């Protein structure tokens, strides 16, 4: 599903973000990407999402060989990857419903189908009662749920999560991760960058630990600390 | 692209214009003003062309023949001229016909009685194919002094009109290019403001897999609308202004050959409209593409 072969990423200012990363993530896996800030977790996700290109090495996502695809194919790659963020990245002037529907409009879905799928996914995340609210009227956890709903509304095979619980209280964080495992159970590969020790230890999954741009540990059902 | 998307794009573009109302207005006004100047020069050029072509048509060389010539000598001379290169037409004008014409034209001036008998010689009226050929032709014909008494032609005025219309065309072109590029700059910047205002939205669109075309279309529609409105304002101003100016000129200089044919005017207004719309869309395209290029 996701394969990285000897990936290096250097920034123009000489900073080495990733060094010799080789990693295979299979279909329907749930992987925690852990490590301190600056370890390269976000960079890794950005490379998978192709919002940045590796300096060297090869990345294969689903059926896409990232070094070979043209810029105009990137949108199609992204339609098979859902992405959620610490800061939600919602459109402030649009309702909950519109924020989610937007993702499907972009893919030229017919209106009826959009309606059906958006309602379905909002039910899944538990926001069906609040679909006409504006994002700022909702709590952080609820906003994160909108973001999740938007990311999975078209049933992408991969869901990338960049510190999804970074701004949330522990209870809400639990709720969000429960939701992510539920999504994982629906045949979606989930890669979640986090430094929330409680969650990693509380819901054990495969753990990939990073430090200074390198993978230090890759362990099935591992904890936050080895 | 499905029809329902179109409504989405149009809505998006109106939201964009509403968000930067002042700049949108300025862009429309700039397009309108530039198009008015552009259209003015088009109208001027068309009129000058019309005027020069009328003059060139009237440009005849008149060869006044010697009184001493016999009919057969005239015939022979006529044949010689006819064989020259660059002659469009030649007509022999009998002195009696010329005299009758003269009497008819200048009856009111009362000189006919004073002159008495016909003072005019036989003449040959001759048109050249190209205006530039007149001078060499005339100096060549002057050499036939056995036949030719005098050669008269109206080249000076034609030359002046011609060179003026050349100048006007050149100046018009330069001005139009300058105005066109400054208009384009303003449109690019206007639309860029709306693009920047929606940068976050655009990055989210890219996030969920929007194609560039999908992102660009609302802005292109915005440029299109700005262009069309600017063009409509310009065309309205031009047609009202031209009719008013035309009426004023014709009232004081009745024989001024102004172009008033609806077909020709419509053509000019169409050009103005198309150019305005094109500039609007091109400006939008440039600013969005620039933006998209820097963002992966």
Q: What structural domains does chain B harbor?
A: 3-55+159-290 (no CATH), 60-153 (3.30.70.3040)
Give per-residue pLDDT as tens, B134-151. 777 788 888 887 888 888
A51 and chain B: CB distance < 8 Å anywhere? yes
Instruction: Tell me the pLDDT tens digit for each residue of B192-246.
Output: 777 777 787 888 888 888 888 888 888 888 889 999 999 999 999 999 998 898 8
Q: Does A64 touch chain B (CB under 8 A)?
A: no
The larger pLDDT score, comparing residue A157 to residue B104, is at A157
For A120, other C-beta atoms within 10 Å of its C-beta total 12
A26 CB near a chain B CB, below 8 Å?
Answer: no
Question: Where do we find the tokens 């060139």?
Answer: B56
Q: Is the pLDDT of residue B2 over 60?
A: no
A190 close to B (CB below 8 A): no
Residue B261 region by backbone torsions, left for phi larger than 0, else alpha for psi between -120 and 50, else beta: beta
Q: When comparing pLDDT for A143 and B50, which is higher? A: A143
- Tell me the CA distances in angstroms from A128 to A122, A200, B128, one per residue in order: 5, 29, 87
Decide if B208 and A51 are in contact by the 8 Å CB cutoff: no
**CB pair distance less than 8 Å for A106 and B8:** no
pLDDT confidence of residue A160: 94
Closest CA to B153 of B165, B137, B166: B137
CB B219 within 8 A of CB B13: yes
Confidence band of B38 (pLDDT split at 50, 70, 90): confident
Range of lowest pLDDT (A11-20, A56-65, A216-225, B53-62): B53-62
Contact A144, A178 (CB under 8 A): no
Residue B132 clears pLDDT 60, i.e. is over it: yes
Q: Who has greater pLDDT, A50 or B60?
A: A50
Closest among A127, A137, A128, A130 to A93, alpha carbons compared: A137
Say yes or no for a CB contact (<8 Å) between B214 and A103. Answer: no
Decide if B212 and A72 are in contact by the 8 Å CB cutoff: yes
> Is residue B165 scored above 80 in pLDDT?
no
Tell me the pLDDT tens digit for each residue of A7-27: 998 888 888 888 899 999 999
Give the H/E segment covering residue B226: helix B212-252
B112: pLDDT confidence band, cut at 50, 70 and 90? low
Residues 112-171 of A with CB under 8 A from B: 150
Average pLDDT value over all residues in chain A: 89
Position B1 pLDDT exceeds 60: no
Cross-chain residue pair B210–A91, CB shorter than 8 Å? no
How far is A219 from A162, CA to CA, in rounded Å? 20
Query: If you count residue pairs, one on A and one on B, with CB atoms under 8 Å apart, how many are there?
Result: 51
Cα distance between residue A122 and residue B189, in whole Å: 40
Residue A100's pLDDT is 93
The two most distant CA atoms of chain B are separated, in Å, by 99
Strands A64-65 and A56-61: antiparallel
Question: Residue A21's beta-bridge partner residues?
Answer: A7
The pair of structure tokens assigned to B76 is 């022979």
Q: What percent of chain B has pLDDT over 90?
A: 7
Nearest to B211 among A75, A110, A150 (CB): A75
- Closest approach of chain A CAs to the CA of B206, in angstroms? 7
Q: Quick one: pLDDT at residue B214?
A: 84
Whether A76 sits inside 8 A of B209 (CB atoms) is yes
Q: Which of the residue ranges A81-85, A142-146, B147-151, B289-293 would you say has the lowest mean pLDDT?
A: B289-293
Average pLDDT over residues A137-145: 91
Q: Has residue A168 got a pLDDT over 80?
A: yes
Contact yes or no for B2 and A108 at CB 8 A: yes
Angle between helices B21-58 and B262-293 (to 10 degrees): 140
Write out chain A residues lying below 8 Å of B296, CB-based.
50-53, 71, 74
Looking up tokens 């001759």, which residue turns up? B126
Of A52, A91, A150, the CB nearest to B296: A52
Q: Residue B88: its pLDDT value, please?
A: 79
pLDDT of residue B154: 67
E strand or H helix at B276, and its extent? helix B262-293
Helices (H), B106-154: 112-115, 134-142
Contact: B2, A102; criterion CB under 8 Å: no
Q: Between B274 and B48, where is the model more confident?
A: B274
Nearest CA in chain B to A71: B296
């Amino acid at each position: 599903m996701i394969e990285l072969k000897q990936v290096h990423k250097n920034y123009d200012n000489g900073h080495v973000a990733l060094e010799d990363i080789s990693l295979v993530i299979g279909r329907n896996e749930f992987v925690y990407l852990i490590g301190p800030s600056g370890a390269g977790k976000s960079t890794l996700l950005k490379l998978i999402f192709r919002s940045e290109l590796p300096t060297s090495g090869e990345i294969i996502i689903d059926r896409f060989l990232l070094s070979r695809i043209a810029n105009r194919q990137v949108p199609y790659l992204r339609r098979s990857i859902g992405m959620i963020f610490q800061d939600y990245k919602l459109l402030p002037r649009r309702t909950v419903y519109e924020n989610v529907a937007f993702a499907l409009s972009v893919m030229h879905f017919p209106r009826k189908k959009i309606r059906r799928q958006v309602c379905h996914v909002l039910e899944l995340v538990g926001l069906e009662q609040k679909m006409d609210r504006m994002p700022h009227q909702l709590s952080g956890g609820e906003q994160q749920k909108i973001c999740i709903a938007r990311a999975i509304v078209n049933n992408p095979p991969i869901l990338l999560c960049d510190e999804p619980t970074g701004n949330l209280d522990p209870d809400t964080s639990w709720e969000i991760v429960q939701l992510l495992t539920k999504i994982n159970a629906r045949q979606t590969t989930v890669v979640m960058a986090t430094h929330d020790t409680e969650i990693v230890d509380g819901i054990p999954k495969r753990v990939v630990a990073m430090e200074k741009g390198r993978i230090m540990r890759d362990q099935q059902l591992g904890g936050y600390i080895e | 692209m499905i029809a329902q998307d179109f409504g989405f794009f149009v809505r998006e573009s109106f939201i964009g214009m509403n968000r930067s109302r002042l700049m949108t207005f300025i862009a429309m006004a700039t397009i309108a003003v530039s198009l008015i100047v552009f259209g003015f020069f088009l109208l001027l050029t068309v009129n000058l062309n019309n005027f020069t072509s009328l003059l060139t048509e009237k440009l005849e060389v008149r060869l006044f023949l010697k009184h001493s010539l016999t009919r057969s000598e005239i015939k022979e001379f006529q044949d010689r001229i006819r064989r020259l290169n660059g002659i469009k037409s030649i007509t022999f004008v009998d002195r009696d016909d010329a005299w009758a014409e003269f009497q008819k034209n200048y009856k009111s001036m009362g000189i006919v009685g004073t002159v008495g008998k016909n003072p005019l010689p036989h003449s040959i009226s001759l048109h050249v194919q190209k205006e530039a050929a007149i001078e060499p032709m005339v100096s060549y014909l002057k050499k036939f002094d056995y036949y030719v008494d005098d050669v008269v032609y109206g080249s000076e005025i034609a030359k002046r009109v011609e060179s003026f219309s050349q100048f006007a065309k050149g100046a018009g072109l330069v001005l139009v290019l300058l105005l066109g590029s400054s208009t384009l700059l303003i449109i690019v910047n206007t639309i860029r403001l709306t693009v920047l205002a929606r940068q976050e939205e655009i990055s989210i669109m890219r996030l969920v897999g929007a194609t560039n075309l999908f992102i660009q279309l609302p802005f292109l529609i915005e440029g299109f609308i700005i262009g069309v409105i600017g063009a409509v304002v310009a065309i309205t101003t031009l047609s009202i202004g031209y009719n008013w100016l035309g009426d004023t000129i014709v009232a004081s200089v009745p024989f001024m050959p102004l172009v008033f044919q609806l077909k020709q005017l419509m053509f000019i207004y169409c050009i103005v409209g198309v150019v305005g719309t094109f500039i609007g869309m091109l400006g939008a395209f440039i600013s969005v593409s620039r933006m998209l290029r820097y963002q992966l």
